[in-house]
Structure formats: C-alpha cells, structure tokens
C-alpha cells in the first residue's frame, strides 16, 4: 500500500514559511507585500479561486488588491489596468485570472504583465527562463508538484520520470523541472501510442490529462511516486483525479489523493512567488 502524500500539510508548511519570512521582512525592513488579483466577468469557478487567493494573502500577511471587471470589459481597458498595476509600487505580483471572456486575447494580456510581477510565470520571458534554468518564478502547479515529490524524500536523480500531458502550464514546465533535477524524462500525450508501456517504466509518474480515473493500477510500476494533477468528476459527480486512486495505491510507493494532493499546493506556491517578487523588487537577495 502506498504512502499518501498529504498536500494539505505540505501546503500549510509552505504558507507558514512564507508568512514567517514576510513577517521578518515587515519588521526588519518595513517591507509590505501586495498581490493584485484581476477577475473579468462572472465565471463561478474563477470567483471561488480568486476568493481563495485573497484568503491566502490574508493568512500569510500580504495585502491583496482585487479588481473585478465586467464581462464586457474591452481588451484595451484590461491592458490599461495591467499597465497601471505594472507601475504601482504597492503591487509586487499581478495575477489575471483565466479564462478571460472570448473577446479578449489572453496572450496579449499575459505579454503585457511586467515579467518581474508575473507571479503565474506565464509570460514568455519567464517561460524561457525555465528552459535555461535561470528562473525566479515557476508556474504554481509544477512548483507544487516538485515540492510534493521533495516531501517524499525520493531523489529524482537518474530516475525514470514520465509526465502525461504537454500543456504550457503543467506538462512542459513539469518536464523541464524534473530534467533539471537530473531525471530521465519522457513526455506522453494524447497521441502517444505505447502509453501503458511507458508508464510502467516510471519511477515518478505525473499525470495531467484531464480524464477521470484514466490511469489505473495496471499503468503503475511497483513502488512508483504517483502525482495526480487531475481535477475531474466521476460518474456520480464526485471530485476525483486522472488516476484511479483505489487500484493505483496498491501499486504505488507514494501517491497524491484528489482532493487534498496537488490542489492545495498551487495557492501556496503563488504566495511563495509573490514573496520572491517582492524581495527581488526591493533588491533583497
């Protein structure tokens, strides 16, 4: 039976570290840290995420600035706001919640965010920095996954790592981070022909495909570290991951549950990125 990786506990530890460092910087340097969160339109899921991000800011001692804009906001208006936030010294990090309404070009907005304040690490400059290993920020989900793997004590060096999924936000940066830690990395995707065979070679398996319970125990090598990035609904409408937990945990050495695995990590890593941004802008480290 696998050991369960407790994402809530690791996330709480990251937030505690961030809160302690933020408090020290406030006391010793008078540094105040601020995150601007921009939401456009009425997407209910986005509203929940934004509220959670604001709550996390409060918990670690950051100021959050919310900008809620109407669904019919123009691209120009949103670009104007991003430019104002780029210049606002109270704001160390800028997060524009995605998805944006269809009439707004997400790429144009992401490209307009100052790379120094891009705490999502979605700007091409920050994406490029990950490729060459000279980054300040990592996208929150892959950063959270790396932290969860670290919590197991398993050394990535020399291990077979299989990432299923090739999105810009998860799969591609995930593969780069595992490579930087000296893993031997294979990226699989919807067109991969011998998926099961490749998965069975994985000492570390990261699954981000968006299909409920797609990866069952028959894909998992005995003792593997299995990280499930999925957030799906099963046949009864219950929240589940891309991995069939019940059969997978019989084979895995370590496994993340859904909920309570990768999910709680993303906001913690956002807080960490905001702290890093504030320190860099203040010339600390």
The piece of 76-84, 96-104, 143-151, 195-203 that touches ligand GUN (CB under 6 A) is: 96-104
Q: Which is nearer to ligand GUN, 7 or 183 (CB)?
A: 7
Q: Which is nearer to ligand GUN, 97 or 126 (CB)?
A: 97
The CB-of-266 to ligand GUN minimum distance in angstroms stands at: 6
For residue 120, state whether it binds ligand GUN (rule: CB under 6 A): yes
53, 159, 221, 251: which one is catalytic? 53
Structure token pair of residue 165? 């999924």
User: Closest Cα to residue 222, out of 244, 189, 251, 192?
Assistant: 251
For residue 91, state whether it binds ligand GUN (rule: CB under 6 A): no
The CB-of-154 to ligand GUN minimum distance in angstroms stands at: 26
Structure token pair of residue 82? 């991003």
For residue 140, state whether it binds ligand GUN (rule: CB under 6 A): yes
Collapsed DSSP state (helix, strand, coil) of residue 195: helix
The CB-of-49 to ligand GUN minimum distance in angstroms stands at: 6
> 99: cis peptide before it, omega within 30°?
yes
Dihedral angle over CA of 248, 251, 257, 258, nearest 10? -10
Name the β-bridge partners of 33. Answer: none
For residue 196, indicate whether it is catalytic: no
CB atoms within 10 A of CB 3: 12
User: Closest Cα to residue 82, out of 110, 101, 107?
Assistant: 110
Structure token pair of residue 194? 């011998």
For residue 97, indicate whether it is catalytic: yes
For residue 228, state whether it binds ligand GUN (rule: CB under 6 A): no
For residue 95, state whether it binds ligand GUN (rule: CB under 6 A): yes
Query: Which active-site residues does the annotation give?
Result: 53, 97, 120
Kindly list the residues in this chain that would bind ligand GUN in the complex (CB under 6 A): 95-98, 120, 140
């Amino acid at each position: 039976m696998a050991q369960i990786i407790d994402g809530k506990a690791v996330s709480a530890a990251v937030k505690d570290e961030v809160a302690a460092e933020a408090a020290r910087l406030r006391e010793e340097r008078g540094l105040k840290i601020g995150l601007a969160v921009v939401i456009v339109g009425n997407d209910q899921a986005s509203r929940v995420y934004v509220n959670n991000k604001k709550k996390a800011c409060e918990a670690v001692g950051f100021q959050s600035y919310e900008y809620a804009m109407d669904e019919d906001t123009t691209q120009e208006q949103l670009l104007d706001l991003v430019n104002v936030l780029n210049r606002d010294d109270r704001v160390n990090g800028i997060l524009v919640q995605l998805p944006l309404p269809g009439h707004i070009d997400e790429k144009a907005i992401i490209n307009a965010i100052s790379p120094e304040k891009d705490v999502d690490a979605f700007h091409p400059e920050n994406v490029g920095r990950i490729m060459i290993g000279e980054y300040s920020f990592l996208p929150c989900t892959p950063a959270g996954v790396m932290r969860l793997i670290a919590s197991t004590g398993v050394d990535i060096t020399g291990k077979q790592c299989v990432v299923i999924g090739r999105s810009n936000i998860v799969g591609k940066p995930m593969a780069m981070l595992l490579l930087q830690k000296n893993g031997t990395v294979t990226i699989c995707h919807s067109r991969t022909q011998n998926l099961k065979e490749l998965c069975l070679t994985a000492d570390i398996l990261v699954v981000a495909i968006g299909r409920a319970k797609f990866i069952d125990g028959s894909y998992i090598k005995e003792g593997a570290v299995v990280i499930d990035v999925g957030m799906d609904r099963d046949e009864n409408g219950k929240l589940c991951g891309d991995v069939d937990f019940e059969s997978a945990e019989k084979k895995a050495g370590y496994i993340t549950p859904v909920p309570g695995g990768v999910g709680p990590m993303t906001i913690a890593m956002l807080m960490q990125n905001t702290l890093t941004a504030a320190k860099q802008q203040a010339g600390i480290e």
